[in-house]
Structure 1
Amino acid sequence: MDMAENTNQNGMSSATVGKSGLLDLKNEHVKDMEEDVLYHLALSDKTHDLKDMFHDVKFVCFGGSTSRMKQLAEYMVDKLHYKLPAGHTLSNIAGSSDRYVLYKVGPVLSVSHGMGIPSLSILFHEVVKLLYHAGCKDVTFFRLGTSGGLGLEPGTVVISDSVVDGLLRPYMEMVTLGTLVQYPALFDPILCQELMDISADFDFPTVTGKTMCTYDFYEGQARLDGAFCDYSEDDKMAFLKQLYDKGVRNIEMESLCFAAMAHRGGIKCAVLCCTLLDRLKGDQLTSSHELMNEWGTRPQKIVAEYICKTLGIE
C-alpha cells in the first residue's frame, strides 16, 4: 500500500528547519547515539570537531564527478577571494574515503555524489547529518550536473522548475519496512527565479523546465544503444516527443531524490544541469571532451554568481 508523506498547508515537509534556521534531523536515534560515524565521508562527530570545521557553511554544491567538484572548489577560491592558510593547499576533507570528495571554501562545500539515486541518497544523508552536528543554519543546496536535453541546443543550462520520475510522477518512491513510501519532490520557486535572473549575465543559453529523473542511463532513458533494447526507434521517438510535449526539457539520474530529500528536510534547493546533447537527435555523446568540460562549468558559473551576490562579494 502506498503511503504519502504528510505535508503542511505551505507544502513544506513535516521535517523542516526550525524558526532559527537551524537544521533539525527529526531523527531521535541519531541524537541519542554516542558517536555518529559518517562512514562514506570518513568523518565522525566523536573523532572530529564538526562544529569547528563546518559551522559557517551556508551553501552545499553537489555534483556527480569528483574532478568537477574539485574544479568548482578551485573556482570558488577565486570567486570568494578566499585565502588558504599559509602552507596549505585545497584538500579533500573526505580523503580517507574512496567514495566521495568533500572540499570546503569558506561557507561553501563542494561534494561529489557519484552517479544515480542510490549513490546520491547515501551522501545526502551524511551531509545533512554533518550540517546538523556542525550547528549550521539557513543552508542552501545546489545540484550541478550534466544531462541529456530535449529540443535544446547542446550546452544549454536547464534550471529545473519541477521533476518527475520515469512514469512522470512528481515524487520519489522508496520501500521502508516493507511499505512503499512516496516523498514529494519540490524546488524553491523563488530560488529558481533568482538563478534564472542571474543567468542573463552570461552568454550561454539557460532555460527553466521540467526534468525527468530515471534509475537507468540506457533503457530508462529510451536509448537504443544499450546492451539490451526491446523497443523500436519509432517507439523511442514517440516517447521522447511525448515528454517534450509535457514540458520535459532534460533527463538525468539524481534530481528526483535530491529534490525529495531536500524538501523532506525543509532545505532550500535547486538543480542546474547543462545539456550535452539533444536526445531528439541522437543517443551518443559525440562532442569533444574539451567542449563538454566547458559546458559542464556553466551551472557552476551561475551558482557561484548567486553565492557571491548573496554574500555581497564582487
Structure 2
Amino acid sequence: MTDPRFERNEMMRTDQNHNNDEDETRYPDGTVKLRNPNIELMDQDILYHLALGSESHDLVEMFGDVKFVCMGGTPKRMQDFADYIMKEIGYKLPTGTTLQDISRYSYRYSMYKVGPVLSISHGMGVPSISILLHEMIKLMYHAKAKDPVFIRIGTCGGVGVDGGTVVISDGAYDPLLNNYYEVPVLGKLTSRPAILDKKVIRELKALADVEDPYETVTGKTMCTSDFYEGQGRLDGAFCEYTETEKLKYLEHLKEFGIVNIEMECVPFAALTHHAGIKAAIVCVALLDRFNGDQVSTPKEVLNEWQVRPQKLVAKYIKRHLQMKGKFSLDGHGSMAVKSPRRFKLVQQESQTFE
C-alpha cells in the first residue's frame, strides 16, 4: 500500500514544478493569468466580498495601475496605512475628493486606493484571508494589473524576540511545521507550497535602518487556525496543558527557526505563490510569548509599534516607484461604473451573500 505521506509529497512536488512555470500564471505582458477557465465563460464575475463586478465596474480603469496590494487585519489599520502611504509617496488626490472605502457596500473588507497602492483589510484567520485572496487575485486579473506585489502588514506574537521587533517572514509553516497549505477540494486534500518571494524579502531586509531603536529580523513564521489553544496560550476558555509544556513547545519552535506566530501566513504564501504573484509578510511582535500570553504594553506604545512594519513597506514602495519614475494620477479609486443596473445588483448581492 502506498504511504499517504509519499502521495502528499509527490503532489507537492508536482504542484511546485507546475507553479514554477511562469507561462501558467502570467501573460507575456506581466498580467495575471487565472488557473480557472470558467471565469472567462461567465457573463459577469461578481467579487461578492469586495462589492465589485467585472461588468458592473470598469475594473481596468479603477485598478489597472495597481503595483502594490498591501493587506492587514483590521479596517482601521489599513485606513491608517492608506493615509500614511499617501503622504510618503507624495500622492495628491484630485481636487474635491477624499479617500473612499471602495468595498464599503460589502460590509466585510475595507479597501482604499492610493495611486498604485491598494490598502485592504483581510480580517482574522485562514478562512477570511483565503476568501479575500481569491477575489484580489481575480481583481488583478480583471484589471489587467501588471506584476503586482502583495504584502501583508500585521501583528504577531514573538518567539524569542522582544515586543516591538519587526519580523520579515522568510518561510510560512503550519502548527505541524509543514510549509504547505492543505485545503479539502471535492473531498480530497490538496497541498500547495507556502512560498514567499526571496527577492522581495532581501530587499525589505536591506531597507531596514540600522539606526532604528528596534530590531528588524527575518525568520520562519508559524500560522495557526486558533488564537488560544492553537498557539499554546494559557489564558483561553480551555487549557489542558501546563506552563512547562507550553514553554517546551515554544522552545521546540525556536529551535526549528520559528520567530513569530500569527494566523494568516500559510494561505497568504500558498495562494499568492500558486497565482504567480510575488509576496512578502512584515509583522511587528506585540510580545515575546516566552514571557507571557497577554499584551500589557501601553496602547500608545502599541500604536507606535504597529507603524513600524508600515514604515518599512513604505520604504520598499517608494524605492520601486523611484526606480520606475513617476506614477500615473489616473484611476484614483473612484467608482467607474459600466452598468448602473449591474452596479445596483452587485451591491445587493454583496450585502446579502452569505
Question: Same fold judged by TM-score > 0.5?
Answer: yes
Residues 1:208 and 2:218 are matched in the alignment: yes
**One-letter amino acid of the structure 2 residue matched with residue 282 of structure 1:** G
Which residue, out of 276, 287, 291, partners 2:286?
276
How far apart, in 2, do the equivalents of 1:79 and 1:277 lie? Answer: 28
Query: Where does residue 97 of structure 2 map in the other structure?
Result: 88
Which protein has greater RCO, CA pairs closer than 8 Å, 6+ apart?
2
**One-letter amino acid of the structure 1 residue matched with residue 219 of structure 2:** G
Query: Where does residue 250 of structure 1 map in the other structure?
Result: 260
Which residue, out of 115, 120, 123, partners 2:129?
120
Which residue, out of 222, 231, 239, partners 1:221?
231
Larger Rg: 2
1:234 deviates by 0.9
Which residue, out of 104, 109, 122, partners 2:113?
104
Superposed CA offset, 1:91-111 (max 9, x none) = 100111110001000000000
Residues 1:155 and 2:164 are matched in the alignment: yes
Which residue, out of 30, 44, 50, partners 2:39?
30
**One-letter amino acid of the structure 2 residue matched with residue 126 of structure 1:** E
SS of aligned partner of 2:81: helix
1:13 deviates by 7.6
Identity %: 51
1:294 deviates by 1.1
Query: Where does residue 6 of structure 1 map in the other structure?
Result: 15
Query: Where does residue 30 of structure 2 map in the other structure?
Result: 21
How far apart, in 1, do the equivalents of 2:118 and 2:107 lie? Answer: 18
Question: Is the contact made by 1:273 and 1:299 (CA closer than 8 Å) also made in structure 2?
Answer: yes
How far apart, in 2, do the equivalents of 1:174 and 1:278 lie? Answer: 30
Check 1:12–1:142 CA distance in 2 against 1; reply closer, same or farther (3 A cut). Answer: farther
1:293 deviates by 1.4
Query: Where does residue 262 of structure 1 map in the other structure?
Result: 272
**One-letter amino acid of the structure 1 residue matched with residue 135 of structure 2:** E
Which residue, out of 168, 172, 177, partners 1:168?
177
How far apart, in 1, do the equivalents of 2:65 and 2:122 lie? Answer: 22
**One-letter amino acid of the structure 2 residue matched with residue 230 of structure 1:** E
Gapped regions of structure 2 (runs ≥ 5): 327-354
Which residue, out of 296, 319, 324, partners 1:286?
296
Superposed CA offset, 1:128-169 (max 9, x none) = 111111111111000000000011111000000111100000
Superposed CA offset, 1:170-228 (max 9, x none) = 10111000001111001111110110010126613100000000000000000010001
1:84 deviates by 0.7
Residues 1:55 and 2:55 are matched in the alignment: no
Question: Is the contact made by 2:173 and 2:221 (CA closer than 8 Å) also made in structure 1?
Answer: yes
Cα RMSD (Å) of the superposition? 1.6
Query: Where does residue 193 of structure 1 map in the other structure?
Result: 202
SS of aligned partner of 1:272: strand
Question: Is the contact made by 1:15 and 1:264 (CA closer than 8 Å) also made in structure 2?
Answer: no
Question: Is the contact made by 2:19 and 2:273 (CA closer than 8 Å) also made in structure 1?
Answer: no
Residues 1:137 and 2:146 are matched in the alignment: yes
4+ residue runs over 6 A deviation: none
Query: Where does residue 245 of structure 2 map in the other structure?
Result: 235
Question: Is the contact made by 2:223 and 2:263 (CA closer than 8 Å) also made in structure 1?
Answer: yes
Superposed CA offset, 1:113-137 (max 9, x none) = 0000100011111111111111111
Work out the number of aligned pairs and report it: 314
SS of aligned partner of 1:234: helix
How far apart, in 2, do the equivalents of 1:266 and 1:29 lie? Answer: 19
